[in-house]
Amino acid sequence: MAKRGGLGRGLGALLGETAGEVHDQYQDSAITELPLASIQPNPNQPRKRFDQEELQSLADSIRQNGLLQPIVVRPRSGGYQIVAGERRWQAAGIVGMERVPVVIREVSDDEVLQLALIENLQREDLDPLEEAAAYATLINQHHISQTELANVLCKSRSAISNTLRLLDLPQEVQDFVRDGKLSAGHARAILAVSGEEGRCALARKVVDEGLSVRQTEILGPLFSVKSQNVPAQRTPAPQSYKSAARRLRDSLSAKVSVKTVRGKHKIEIEFGDEQELDRLVERILGGTDERS
């Protein structure tokens, strides 16, 4: 059995606190200044997209009031790496600040991810897929269960599980979620559809028609049926088959079909009972005898 890595003191200590309280823990730490160019972002930052309008708004505030809250960094590769505060770092770059206030902390690789996740979750800055990817990273890196993660995040296990399931969506649907065209509720309703084709088709309909989550839930079963029970297209019978069947029907006074089944050509003659069968046999053999 693999040894569980645990979530470390960083996550356990910070979860459940407000975003302000997360940064309050650094108030007693020495604040210094560093060149902005010496600081690099965290490559494992859970948040992959930053709204440019929000960044510009923050930059305008920094330009007017200064950077009031220090960026938390750790020593890394001859420079420093952001632990918390990448939005402020980016906005400071927009303003053109050469030096920024920082708190330097010794933080492990594990705690960097944990603290970055906490900061974004508390600010509600992650889109649903970024949150799902962060959960998956924590579970895989720390060898913990969904239940254990739910306990330290103060969430239900079903909430963790439902969020992780978003990673099962086709890429096209994930793109809709990332672009804000589909909510997490829409995405969960689409997951009820079996098959990638059905999920993509329903997602397109929801986006094109601006459907609600409830409408998406109602439509889900219909798209599952479509994706599972699409009948195989039949090759139309040649005109000569139809002509032959018509002539046989007229000659035998019975229902006749000429068709191809699994690569084999067949003539089918229907009859109602033994008396009808005898009549057909006599008709067929009698016609043969007359011609011989």
86 is catalytic: yes
Q: For residue 273, what is the DSSP state? A: S
Kindly state the tokens that stand for 282. 């006599």
Q: Which residue has the tokens 């046999």?
A: 281
CB atoms near residue 285 (< 10 Å): 10
Contact between 102 and 31 (Cβ < 8 Å): yes
Q: Taking the CA atoms of 226, 227, 228 and 232 in sequence, report the sign of the dihedral they define.
A: positive
CB atoms near residue 81 (< 10 Å): 18
Kindly state the tokens that stand for 213. 């989550």
Residue closest to 102 by CA, chosen among 20, 40, 49, 14: 40
Residue closest to 51 by CA, chosen among 168, 173, 167, 179: 179
Q: Which residue has the tokens 């965290």?
A: 42
Identify the active-site residue in 86, 130, 131, 148: 86
Catalytic residues: 86
